Amino acid sequence: MAEEARAPAAVAAAPSVPNSKGYPALLPPSLAIPPSDNPFWYDGLDPTQLWDLHLHRAVPSKPVQPMLLQESGPPLPAKPAGHLRFVAISDTHNYHDKLPLTSELLTAAGVDVLVHGGDWSNVGEQKDVTRFTEWIRNLPVKHKVVIAGNHDVSFDEAMYLPKLRRRFQHATPVDTRQAKAKLVEGYAHEAASPSNPFPAFAPEGGVAYLEDSGISVQGVKIWGSPWQPKFYSWGFNLPVGAPLREKWARIPDGTDVLLTHGPPVGQGDMCLPAKNRAGCIDLLMEVVTRVHPRYHVFGHIHEGFGQTRTCALRPDGSQSEPIDFINASNCNEHYNKHALNPPIVFDVPLPGVQQHRHADSKDSKGSCAVH
C-alpha cells in the first residue's frame, strides 16, 4: 500500500441490526445502538471511528505471538500429528528472494503449504512477473498458493489495458491471461465447479493462483481473493459497499484458510503515523458472522504485521469460535529490504482430526480468552 491516507467520513449513530444479506447483529443488547431501516448502515462511514466506537466491543481481539520462520532464534515447535503446516508471506515487493525460505529451513520446519497474500511486485511489470513466476515455481514447498494485490496491476484484467498500463507507464504490456497461465502451467489441479468450489490440488503439488476461487490440500479448504477498498487507482480496487460485498459473498461456507490481499477492519489494518484504519468493514462482517475460517491471512498494510485472535460476540452475548487473523506483510512501511518481517507459520488440522480451535489459548470453559 502506498500514497496518502484517505480523508475520513464522520461516523453517524450506528445501529445493530441484521441486514438484507443476512449478517447477524454484531453488538449484544447491552451495547445496542438505536436501530435503523438501512440494512447497510455503515456504508460510507469512517472505519477508524466505527471500529473505535462500536465494533471493537463486538469483535474483541488480542495479539497472539506468531510462530516465525527465521534462520536464527529458537526452533519451531514440532508440527502436530494430523495437521498441515502453512507458511504465510505477503507484500514482498520483489524482495521474495531475500526471505529465509531455503530448502533446509523449510524441510526442518515441516512446511506443507506456502500462501502468498499478493503484492509480490511493485507495479506488475513483465520483468517482475517473470522473475516472481520463476521463483515461486522453483520454491521447495510442495503446495504454493498465490493471489495478486493492488500493486500487481497487470493481473487486474478488467483495468490493466484500459487504464493501469498507461498510469504505470508499462512500455510493453503484460499479457494478463498468459501470465496467470504460466504461474500454474503443467499442474493438473482438479477443475472447480459450482458444486465443488474447492477442487483438489494436483497430486504432484505445484502452484495454484486464486482469484475469487478455491483449492483444497488434503481436504483443507483455501479461498483466495485479491480485492480491497478503492485506494486511488491501483489494481483490484473496488468501492466500499455493494461492489465489495458481492466479492465477499462468494467466499464459501466451510473455508478453513481465507487468503485476501486487504485486511478486515480492526485486524492488522492500522496505517501509521496517522493511526487510520484501512480495513474493509464488509469483509469483517462476512468473516466473523458467516465464514468463520480458522485463519484469515492478508497483507496490504505493512505496519500491521503480526497475528491477532478474536471471537465475535453473538447477539445473546456468547462468543463464536476463535478466528486467527494474520497480517503476513514482509515489507515494512519503508520497503526496507534489509529489515523484512519473517514468514509466519501456522498449523491447520486435517478433516476428521478432533481438536478445539487454538485450544492452548482457551480457558476451561472453552472461551476465547480475549479480554
Q: DSSP per residue over 217-278, as a string?
A: ETTEEEEEE--EE--SS-TTEE-TTHHHHHHHHTSPTT-SEEEESSPBTTSS-EETTTTEE-
State the number of CA atoms in the 13 A half-sphere of 99 facing the CB: 29
Alpha helices in 51-173 (DSSP H): 56-58, 103-109, 126-138, 157-159, 165-167
**Domain range enclosing 138:** 80-350
Q: Is residue 245 part of a domain?
A: yes
Q: Which residues contact 73 (CB under 8 A, 6 or more apart)?
A: none
Please say whether the beta carbons of 19 and 39 come within 8 A.
Answer: yes
pLDDT in tens, 318-352: 777 899 999 999 999 999 999 999 999 999 999 98
Residues composing the chain? 371
Q: Rounded to a whole number, what is the largest CA-CA distance in the chain?
A: 61
The beta-carbon contacts of 99-105 under 8 Å, at least 24 apart in sequence, are 99/330, 99/340, 99/342, 99/343, 100/69, 100/70, 100/71, 100/342, 100/343, 101/69, 101/139, 101/141, 101/343, 102/71, 102/140, 103/140, 105/69, 105/71
Question: Does the residue 13 lie in any domain?
Answer: no
Closest CA to 224 of 189, 188, 197: 197
Indicate the number of domains in the chain.
1
| Pairing status of strand 295-298 against strand 257-260 | parallel
Answer whether residue 61 is part of any domain: no
Cell numbers 443488547: residue: 29
Question: DSSP of 177-225, one letter per residue?
Answer: HHHHHHHHTT--PPPPBTTBSSPBPPTT-EEEE-SSEEEEETTEEEEEE
The answer to whether 279 and 262 are in contact (CB under 8 A) is: yes
Map 327-370 to HEC letters.
ECECCCCCCCCCCCCCCEEEEEECCCCCCCCCHHHCCCCCCCCC
Rounded CA Rg of the chain: 20
Q: What angle do CA 214, 271, 331 make, to 5 degrees?
A: 60
The pLDDT assigned to 361 comes to 40
CA atoms within 13 A on the CB side of 316: 3
> Is 6 inside any structural domain?
no
CA distance 211 to 224: 6
Average pLDDT score, the chain: 86
Report the run of H or E that residue 35 belongs to, with start and end: none
Q: What is the pTM of this model?
A: 0.89
Residue 41 placed within a domain: no
Q: If we measure between CA atoms, which residue out of 43, 70, 15, 86 comes closest to residue 297?
A: 86
Write down the pLDDT at residue 20: 37
In a domain, 12, yes or no: no
Is 43 part of a structural domain of the chain?
no
The answer to whether 84 and 141 have CB atoms below 8 angstroms apart is no
Is the residue at 311 inside a domain?
yes
Cell of residue 261, nine digits = 490481499
Output the CA torsion sign for 182, 184, 187, 193: negative
- Give helix then strand counts, H and E, for the chain: 9, 17
- CATH number of the structural domain spanning residue 147: 3.60.21.10
pLDDT tens string for the chain (371 positions)? Answer: 544 343 333 333 333 333 334 455 555 444 444 445 666 777 878 889 888 887 888 788 899 999 999 998 788 999 999 999 999 999 999 999 999 999 999 999 999 999 999 999 999 999 999 999 999 999 999 999 999 999 999 999 999 999 999 999 999 999 999 999 999 999 999 999 999 999 999 999 999 999 999 999 999 999 999 999 998 889 999 999 999 999 999 999 999 999 999 999 999 999 989 899 999 999 998 999 889 999 999 999 999 999 999 987 666 667 778 999 999 999 999 999 999 999 999 999 999 886 656 544 433 333 465 44
